[in-house]
Amino acid sequence: MLGSASPRRHELLATLGATFTVMTTDAEEAETDVPSEVLGALPTAEMPLRYHPTLLAWRKAHAVATHALDAVVLGADTVVVIDGEVLNKPRDDAEAHLMLRRLSGRTHRVYTGLCVAGAFASATPPESDLTTLYEALPEPIWLPLHHEAPHAVLATAARRPFWLDIEMSEVVFAPLTEAQITAYVATGEPRDKAGAYGLQGMGGQLIQAVYGSYTAVVGFPLAAVVRLLRGAGVTGLADATASYYAWLAHQQKEPLPWPPTLP
């Protein structure tokens, strides 16, 4: 089950051959207390805790998991950071213009946080010969499983595993003129994008290089997603690199020449 309304995340998860349903909540906007186990396991990132994408991904996955007892749940969240400041989705075109002017000619970082909640019925990852994969898998966090009736009695004693991860990529913007910024903002694409640009869309024309995972900048780092889902017991997933190329072909894009860009 995918806890995200993002069309790009839907597309990328589908390229892996996964069968999934979508359930969204407003959990990432909540100010509810976070278990100490989650706070202690969050990977390091250069931003205030309230913007930490792995924490926001956990909020999404945890909220959905309370309604999906027997499903593996995936949550993801992406933030753009420059000079230690998080650039969220612009409030209006004027703010989008300011963000793009700030990014112009500079390198910034994009962080995508991930959280996978293991299905209650398969809390222990299956045996596998993918030794390297599981050695790289973060240790699961075991948290009490909260669920309304008819599972209330079971939930009081149940514990469910969660895995947390983060992927960081660096993005190099080309120097932009005021006319280029104005023209891009006028397309409307920046309005619902963190940092006011979409790498997979027309915003890709503004980028000189990506160092790290291309799909992490889009909001769904395929290699990390495959690793976490397999660790939670999901089988039959396609290879991340093959899925990356298939998705690019679907977007009618050529593989990027920017080394060392990864899936």
Residue 258 lies in a domain: no
What is the pLDDT at residue 263?
Answer: 86
Residue tagged active-site, from 26, 77, 129, 192 = 77
Distance between start and end Cα atoms, the chain: 22
**pLDDT at residue 119 tops 50:** yes
Compute the average pLDDT of residues 191-208. 93
CATH of the domain at 65: 3.90.950.10
Q: Among the listed ranges 135-139, 178-182, 198-202, which one has the minimum average pLDDT value? A: 135-139
Assigned domain for 209 exists: yes
* Distance separating alpha carbons of residues 155 and 99, to the nearest angstrom: 45
For residue 238, pLDDT over 60 is answered with yes
42-87: pLDDT as tens digits: 999 989 999 999 999 999 998 898 888 789 999 999 999 999 999 9
Phi, psi of 37 (to 5 degrees): -60, -35
Residues 6+ positions from 141 with CB-CB distance below 8 Å: 35, 37, 38, 41, 161, 162, 163, 164
The answer to whether residue 263 is domain-embedded is: no
The answer to the question of residue 150 being in a domain is yes
Q: Is residue 160 part of a domain?
A: yes
Residue 262 within any structural domain of the chain: no
Cα 129 to Cα 166: distance, rounded to the nearest angstrom = 24
Least confident of 93-97, 142-146, 171-175, 176-180: 142-146
- Structure tokens given for 96: 């989008």
Residue 77 a catalytic site member = yes
Among candidate residues 170, 166, 113, 116, the one with its CA nearest the CA of residue 143: 116
Residue 143: the pLDDT is 81
DSSP reduced 3-state for 58: helix
Question: Is residue 255 one of the residues assigned to a domain?
Answer: no
Domain that holds residue 113: 7-250
Looking at the structure of the chain, the number of domains it has is 1
Whether 170 contacts 221, CB under 8 Å: no
Flag whether the pTM goes above 0.85: yes
Quote the percentage of the chain above a pLDDT of 90.
Answer: 63
Residue 24: the pLDDT is 84
**For residues 110 and 115, what is the distance between their CA atoms, to the nearest angstrom?**
17
